[in-house]
Amino acid sequence: MRYRVLGGTGIEVSVHCLGAMMFGAVGNPDHDECARIIHAALDGGINFVDTADMYSAGESEEIVGEALRGRRDDVVLATKVHFPMGEGPNRGGNSRRWIVKEVEESLRRLRTDWIDLYQIHRPDHTTDIEETLSALSDLVRQGKIRAFGCSTFPAEDIVEAYHVAERRGLMRFRTEQPPYSLLARGIETSVLPVCRRLGMGVLTWSPLASGFLTGRYRKGRPIDLTTGRAALMPARFDPAIPVNAAKLDVVERLLEVADDIGCTLPELAVAFAAAHPGVTSVITGPRTTEQLESLLKGASLTLDDATLDRIDEIVPPGTNVYQPDGAWRPPVLTDPSLRRRPVGERSAA
């Protein structure tokens, strides 16, 4: 297993990070099997585990906390805050009120006195970024977290947060956690260059593009939309939808690349994400022990320039074959009122 320093913190993390999103009701509800997966990952050289408070409504954190009993000091533990945890107002977001309350809940579920990396799961434009950075800086001083980062932030928000921290004498985001895969290379345009300039570590998620890079879904083969992930979100997998057809076309070409260098498509996908000089660690979220074992087999795979050139021809740098599922969209795109003048002003013009 290879290790890299996390965003100037001096903390060394494995190039492969164990993602815990699939632990619990959403993925694998068998706590004992999830614990075996975590232990197998640690035994395989992984020392970095990433979860979030909202994964299976806290169940993932509980599973991780129980599994790390007796091994906590050997693990760099990351979790996240932002998404609602329960009904009612003020039970989510990036306010000081919520962060200060929810970090205590995460510490309790994780059975630990400190969190190595505490991340803001998504932007929140209803909260001043100074408010968020101030709360996180206080948590570092209190010893409850060692460092903090952001997740799925656009480049402009990362830059704003950096300058606010500088002006106000606050601690700054040390990491960013964006989606990145062979099918979604959009962060190469600005997010990765900005993070490199600011000395931030980068933990990428969804290297298998929500399953499309597992090799399970192939062009011309029927896709069962009534089971598994496809049943939960059929529009993501229906081959009759043009964007899914485009993904399947690209997968066939990438399979040829994998075959030519003697690896599996998932191994190629993870190795690709780890090859970028701006990426510190690649998060993989296995649901079963078998999935973990297949990923660990490719942990030492590196890609030469000829292979990377072939990939660039198939999916040009900085382009997305599809918009990554779960990626954040700014309110100016989701709320029409933010991009349309009032009717009266329009007619007056």
| Residue 38 domain flag | yes
Which residue matches tokens 């959403």? 26
The residue range of the domain holding 146 is 3-212+265-348
pLDDT, position 348: 55
Indicate the number of domains in the chain: 1
- Model confidence, pTM: 0.93
Structure tokens at 231: 């049943």
| Residue 230 domain flag | no
pLDDT, position 84: 96
| Residue 113 domain flag | yes
Active site residues: 55
| Residue 78 domain flag | yes
| Residue 219 domain flag | no
Residues 280/201, Cβ–Cβ less than 8 Å: yes
- pLDDT 10s digits, 46-89: 999 999 999 999 999 999 999 999 999 999 999 999 999 989 89
pLDDT, position 347: 62
- E strand or H helix at 176, and its extent? strand 175-177
pLDDT, position 217: 82
The alpha carbons of the chain give a radius of gyration, in whole angstroms, of 20
The residues of the chain scoring below 50 in pLDDT are: none
| Residue 332 domain flag | yes
pLDDT, position 180: 97
Residues 47/13, Cβ–Cβ less than 8 Å: yes
pLDDT, position 333: 84
Residues 264/290, Cβ–Cβ less than 8 Å: no
320 DSSP 8-state letter: B
| Residue 157 domain flag | yes
pLDDT, position 238: 85
The CATH number of the domain holding residue 191 is 3.20.20.100
Structure tokens at 52: 């979030």
CA nearest neighbour of 149 among 50, 80, 54: 80
pLDDT, position 346: 62
Structure tokens at 116: 């190595």
